[in-house]
Structure 1
Amino acid sequence: IRYQDVKHVFASLPQMERGVSKVIGGDPKGNNFLYTNGKCVIIRNIDNPAIADVYTEHAHQVTVAKYSPSGFYIASGDASGKVRIWDTTQKEHLLKYEYTPISGKVKDIAWTEDSKRMAVVGDGREKFGAVFLWDSGSSVGDLSGHSKLINSVDIKQNRPYRIVVGSDDQTGSFFEGPPFKFKFTLSRHSQFVNCVRFSPNGERFVTSGGDGMIFIYDGKTGEPIGSLGGEKSHNGGIYAVSWSPDSSQLISASGDKTVKLWDVGAGTAVTTFKMGTDVTDQQLGCLWQKDHLLSISLSGYINYLDKNNPDRPIRTIKGHSKSIQCLTVHKTDGRPNIYSGSHDGHINILLLINTGENDCFSGKGHSNQVSKAVVNDADELVTCSMDDTLRFTNINKKEYSASDVVKMDFQPKSVSVAAGGLSLAVCVEQIVLLKDKKKVFTLDSLGYEAEVGAIHPGGTTAAVGGKDEKIHLYSIQGNTLKDEGKTIDAKGTITEMAYSPNGAYLATVDICLSYTFFLWVSQYTILLLIGYYGHHAKPVSLAWSPDSEHFATGGMDMMVYVWTVGDTDKRIKIPDTHRLHHVSDLAWIDGHTLVTGSHDACIKQWTLKY
């Protein structure tokens, strides 16, 4: 039986940009929330964010997604101006309609309360907004009147319908309809208008802007009523506001690194949530959903705010917002944790697989892409990065240490570890042997370009694969690497290699799609050479199961194969593992559970049955 099933999706965080609002969608039933990252729309359960679903049908970067008031559909808009309306009730998320109402990036979407009409705004060449019937795409009004892109739109959720928009030209507009016609300009802001929102009961709407102000208006007439917080609502630009379900309060998210909870009637802040002091603590999005108050930091972290304790969130959802480059699994007290490194140097720790809780090391870590991560027998996470360093981070202390950084002469591409404190770093023009976090031996002028290396679990041999289509074998004698002149011919440039945990096998993948497979008896005698074929494009990742019986490979063809040692026909195929991107790395939790990471910044856990 060849069988695989996705058990968990550990979703990416929202993709954030400094000084740009992030719209979070809320499900009208109050169960889920929505955001975007890359070409994905991510739906997460608000009570248990470990339950997630990822929609991957957009061809361009998705910028905003909103539920219809009925809850049956989601409308998502992308950077090309395309809006897709798709079903939420089925797992397949069938497409209902697709439109291109504007010719540039979609910034916001709003529905009428009967889920029949929608307004879409953003950047465009000739117009910055459109309002149309969802089932035919025919226009029900004109949202013209702005000279720059429109950031935000909202529709009053009861009759008589009203639309309000806010633009980069520092003004808003008020429309009556349907069909919607321009009524007047709202010109109280002195900076970009970032967000406009009607209260759920339709009696009021607010506008917020880069000038740190929130203005209140009458929902039906558009007459100005006042502002929140007197002189200034926040000390920085305000990127998002969200009303309470009873229309009496709202929360606002600001670049001053705070979220404020307002009593709208009194015009005063009831609570100020201070989110931190770092630039990444700027607040760019918020959502009030039933009893949950959510805000999103520039770091992508999703904060669940606690009204009774403004100094710290009830929980913070961490993770990756940039592409995952490497991952490894290590068990602490019998519980598996996934360590993953990303394109921006961030290392995430996914604890207790079932709860999906994320954590990270404190302090300052890598400043560039983490290329490879492994755990050594001293319980240290050993990582190599494009910042030309190797780091040894104690996984029990969970903090980066300045003393455990080893600077390299060249950029390290791969790192592997063995018993006795040994590590092998393969750099662009150098191979470095380390012992107890110190360089003990360096091989220069190799005569070939090294790509990847593996050190035998027993610490006796090192194998290095190169662009010269060979595997070079070195013996480790004391603190030195000795070139015994032994090489094994491969079919192409080696892209990844690994010894099996029991030390009996070396598996390699190369760009010619054949997995050559070596059985070791003594150090250099090859007993057996087996080719495993399956991928249609370059394989790039490889990992052994803990029992050395199986190994998994991931390729540029979006496939993952799980192979059985000694039986080339017995394989499990996982197609479309991450849909949009190939698997950048994979690791085993146990003999029946595989985890994969990809450029979509998501991690998936798969259950295998042989």
Structure 2
Amino acid sequence: MTLAETYACIPSTERGRGILISGDSKSDTMLYTNARSVVILDLNNPLKVSIYGEHAYPATVARYSPNGEWIASGDVSGTVRIWGARDDHVLKKEFKVLAGRIDDLQWSADGMRIVASGDGKGKSLVRAFMWDSGSNVGEFDGHSRRVLSCAFKPTRPFRIVTCGEDFLVNFYEGPPFKFKLSSREHSNFVNCVRYSPDGSKFITVSSDKKGVIYDGKTCEKLGELSSEDVHKGSIYAVSWSPDGKEVLTVSADKSAKVWEISDSGNGTLKTTLTCPGSSGGVDDMLVGCLWQNDHIVTVSLGGTISIFSASDLDKSPFQFSGHMKNISSLSVLRGSSDYILSGSYDGLICKWMMGRGFCGKLQRKQNSQIKCFAAHEEEIITSGFDNTISRISYQDGQCTNEESIGVGNQPNDLSLAPLSPGLLLVAFESGVVFLRGEKVVSTINLGFTVTALAVTPDGTEAIVGGQDGKLRLYAVNGDSLTEEAVLEKHRGAISVIRYSPDLSMFASADLNREAVVWDRASREMKLKNMLYHSARINCLAWSPNSSMVATGSLDTCVIVYEVDKPASTRMTIKGAHLGGVYGLGFADDTHVVSSGEDACIRVWSLTPQ
């Protein structure tokens, strides 16, 4: 199996905080973080993605070394890892730098030193060290609260500037670095500081809506961004143009502005950038930015990434988004144009197409959490943690109606019978609820703990899996169930059941990491010994031609079996998703789609043996 496409997660964001993204001008790639992942995204082709997932704790910031060969990334534990920017991402060094979260880090221009800032205890809020040995190269007094950003002067003599929640901008000379002076030009959190490419100036931006420009060598204040065109909300991030003559700022007022910086250090507004498709809500606040070559990049609180052309600012930006949280389920829908729907536990449903990637978010009435998910043609069914089922009608990628139906119990699984109009079966702890349309027509107590179920498309047969590992086959008579058989093979609670597309078979999997393919007519095992995962199986999918079954597990792997061949001839994708695989589907007979806790979707190309 080979990786064909990756639909990347979006940057992790937090209301009231900026995110400090970065990039590499040589490769035209951008770095950002989501949970434990550091994402390397090609700005010219957002489907070209590489992900580093070796941090033990959520990553917060990442930066390329000046030569583009290495990446330094920090996390919430105060650890910095230095690793290769190439495909193997080999770890070079790891250092415990701060006692708390790292908010920003920068390399020196010679690639020998790194400065990191963030949270910690006492005076340990900033540290500069040699990248190869970790030895300190200075003392950083002067801050009393969290240091949100730091910058290394890119030319000699080297200087370091820091800023943070104590409203201060501190200036250090070295190496070895020592405190020189503080600037108190801001009256609120100073969120970001950045040096111009030639080192002659640096700029700070703050939640007081001001941007202040300083002399890069002496820290003397030179000027400010024009107060006439100032942002109307906190300025969260700033980035210089490659020639050092302009800066880009983004703000909580949902706008991005490009400023011309004069030699004297004053900033005048050149243009205000607006992102199309804004809903007007808080998710449109802009919290991160990057100016790299001809790309001007902004990131919104909701995770939408907009890429403008610096040489043609009137041109509409290329925009894409995705999931920020664990993608708990996905469905591949086939029709005039095949596409993928994915749902994350925070309630977001996204649409994707192979070869194109992100195609939009479905705007729901309420973004309630998603625990169970099913989709067919023009209907989506979800359940959360509030004892309700949502039946969502949609057309052209948008929800047209959403009805919330109380079922009186916490759903554990659900299955839709599309050929029996409106029929939906919902599993709860001790039984099954029948819904027809928007009405609960029966609630059946089965006398055992129900963990999974599946119903045939015509609604005539259902399979119910239990905590005891047994599969019970029922005939569906009206709104009731008649038990016909009990199948015993599993040694753990049933986690998922799926009928094959041709309905000649069904497959089941359990929390004890085993899967079984059953012949539906004889109710005998057709493929057994599918015991190659090292942790519980979360999801299962059939190929359209019913010849293959794929399983996804907490062990981060996807395994594909051919039904007519021994289980030992399996195909395995190791490390498919950091944190575990939670969603699976077949785009066609040669492509598997997977999703996981890393909030990414991947398409895998299969070459059967």
Same fold (TM over 0.5): yes
Instruction: Report what 1:341 is aligned to.
Output: 343
Instruction: Report what 1:15 is aligned to.
Output: 12
- Alpha-carbon shift at residue 326 of structure 1 (Å): 0.2
Instruction: Report what 2:411 is aligned to.
Output: 412
Instruction: Report what 2:331 is aligned to.
Output: 328
Instruction: Report what 1:251 is aligned to.
Output: 248
Q: Deviations over 1:444-490 (max 9, x none)?
A: 3332222211011332101111223322333223x423323643334
Instruction: Report what 2:592 is aligned to.
Output: 594
Instruction: Report what 1:295 is aligned to.
Output: 298
- Alpha-carbon shift at residue 380 of structure 1 (Å): 2.5
Instruction: Report what 1:549 is aligned to.
Output: 547
Output the CA distance in 2 between the equivalents of 1:320 and 1:259.
23
Which residue of the other structure, out of 304, 317, 321, is the alignment partner of 2:320? Answer: 317
Output the CA distance in 2 between the equivalents of 1:514 and 1:263.
63
Q: Tell whether the 8 Å contact from 1:101 to 1:120 is kept in structure 2 after alignment.
A: yes
Matched, 1:183 2:180: yes
The percentage of aligned residue pairs carrying the same residue is 36
Instruction: Report what 1:235 is aligned to.
Output: 232
- Alpha-carbon shift at residue 313 of structure 1 (Å): 4.9
Which residue of the other structure, out of 569, 572, 577, is the alignment partner of 2:570? Answer: 572
Q: Identify if the C-alpha distance between structure 1 residues 403 and 207 changes in structure 2 by more than 3 Å, giving closer, same or farther.
A: closer
Q: Deviations over 1:276-301 (max 9, x none)?
A: 42011111110011111111111111
Q: Identify if the C-alpha distance between structure 1 residues 28 and 142 changes in structure 2 by more than 3 Å, giving closer, same or farther.
A: farther
Instruction: Report what 2:358 is aligned to.
Output: 357
Q: Tell whether the 8 Å contact from 2:392 to 2:401 is kept in structure 1 after alignment.
A: no
Gaps of 5+ in 1: none
Q: Tell whether the 8 Å contact from 2:295 to 2:310 is kept in structure 1 after alignment.
A: no
Output the CA distance in 1 between the equivalents of 2:427 and 2:186.
56
Q: Deviations over 1:198-253 (max 9, x none)?
A: 11122211111111111111112111122112278322111100111111111111
- Alpha-carbon shift at residue 177 of structure 1 (Å): 2.0
- Alpha-carbon shift at residue 40 of structure 1 (Å): 0.8
Q: Identify if the C-alpha distance between structure 1 residues 395 and 308 changes in structure 2 by more than 3 Å, giving closer, same or farther.
A: farther
Q: Identify if the C-alpha distance between structure 1 residues 480 and 214 changes in structure 2 by more than 3 Å, giving closer, same or farther.
A: same
Q: Tell whether the 8 Å contact from 1:341 to 1:371 is kept in structure 2 after alignment.
A: no
Q: Deviations over 1:379-424 (max 9, x none)?
A: 3333333344434444533222345444432232322223233332
Output the CA distance in 2 between the equivalents of 1:428 and 1:178.
64
Q: Tell whether the 8 Å contact from 2:452 to 2:496 is kept in structure 1 after alignment.
A: yes
SS at match of 1:97: strand
- Alpha-carbon shift at residue 30 of structure 1 (Å): 5.1
- Alpha-carbon shift at residue 572 of structure 1 (Å): 2.3
Q: Tell whether the 8 Å contact from 1:373 to 1:384 is kept in structure 2 after alignment.
A: no
Q: Tell whether the 8 Å contact from 1:371 to 1:385 is kept in structure 2 after alignment.
A: yes
Q: Which moved more, 1:303-312 or 1:440-449?
A: 303-312
Instruction: Report what 2:307 is aligned to.
Output: 304
TM-score with structure 1 setting the length:
0.93
Q: Counterpart amino acid of 2:116?
A: V
Output the CA distance in 2 between the equivalents of 1:132 and 1:403.
55
- Alpha-carbon shift at residue 371 of structure 1 (Å): 2.3
Q: Counterpart amino acid of 2:507?
A: A
- Alpha-carbon shift at residue 598 of structure 1 (Å): 0.5
Give runs of aligned pairs for residues 171-210 of structure 1, distance below 5 A. Answer: 171-210=168-207
Instruction: Report what 2:487 is aligned to.
Output: 488
Matched, 1:476 2:488: no
SS at match of 2:283: helix
Q: Counterpart amino acid of 2:424?
A: S
Give runs of aligned pairs for residues 18-57 of structure 1, distance below 5 A. Answer: 18-29=15-26, 31-57=28-54
Instruction: Report what 1:454 is aligned to.
Output: 454
- Alpha-carbon shift at residue 156 of structure 1 (Å): 1.5
Instruction: Report what 1:397 is aligned to.
Output: 396
Output the CA distance in 2 between the equivalents of 1:291 and 1:596.
33
Output the CA distance in 1 between the equivalents of 2:318 and 2:389.
32
Output the CA distance in 1 between the equivalents of 2:512 and 2:170.
60
Q: Counterpart amino acid of 1:340?
A: S
Instruction: Report what 1:608 is aligned to.
Output: 606
SS at match of 2:39: strand
- Alpha-carbon shift at residue 135 of structure 1 (Å): 2.0
Q: Which moved more, 1:279-288 or 1:360-369?
A: 360-369
Q: Counterpart amino acid of 2:593?
A: V
Q: Tell whether the 8 Å contact from 1:30 to 1:290 is kept in structure 2 after alignment.
A: no
Q: Counterpart amino acid of 2:225?
A: L
Q: Tell whether the 8 Å contact from 1:161 to 1:177 is kept in structure 2 after alignment.
A: yes
Q: Deviations over 1:69-110 (max 9, x none)?
A: 111111111111111111113x11112222222221111111
Which residue of the other structure, out of 207, 222, 225, is the alignment partner of 1:225? Answer: 222
Q: Identify if the C-alpha distance between structure 1 residues 540 and 176 changes in structure 2 by more than 3 Å, giving closer, same or farther.
A: same
SS at match of 1:144: coil
Instruction: Report what 1:367 is aligned to.
Output: 368
Q: Tell whether the 8 Å contact from 2:407 to 2:440 is kept in structure 1 after alignment.
A: no
Instruction: Report what 2:269 is aligned to.
Output: 269
- Alpha-carbon shift at residue 321 of structure 1 (Å): 0.8
- Alpha-carbon shift at residue 590 of structure 1 (Å): 1.3
Q: Which moved more, 1:49-58 or 1:127-136?
A: 127-136
Report the RMSD for the aligned CA atoms in angstroms: 2.2
Q: Tell whether the 8 Å contact from 2:154 to 2:197 is kept in structure 1 after alignment.
A: yes
Q: Deviations over 1:471-525 (max 9, x none)?
A: 2333223x4233236433343311100111111112111223332332122xxx5
SS at match of 1:58: coil
SS at match of 2:395: coil
Q: Identify if the C-alpha distance between structure 1 residues 197 and 503 changes in structure 2 by more than 3 Å, giving closer, same or farther.
A: same
Q: Identify if the C-alpha distance between structure 1 residues 260 and 537 changes in structure 2 by more than 3 Å, giving closer, same or farther.
A: same
Q: Tell whether the 8 Å contact from 2:393 to 2:402 is kept in structure 1 after alignment.
A: no
Q: Tell whether the 8 Å contact from 1:430 to 1:442 is kept in structure 2 after alignment.
A: no
SS at match of 1:145: coil
Q: Which moved more, 1:525-534 or 1:37-46?
A: 525-534
Runs of 4+ in 1 over 6 A off after TM superposition: 307-312
Give runs of aligned pairs for residues 145-184 of structure 1, distance below 5 A. Answer: 145-184=142-181
Instruction: Report what 2:126 is aligned to.
Output: 129
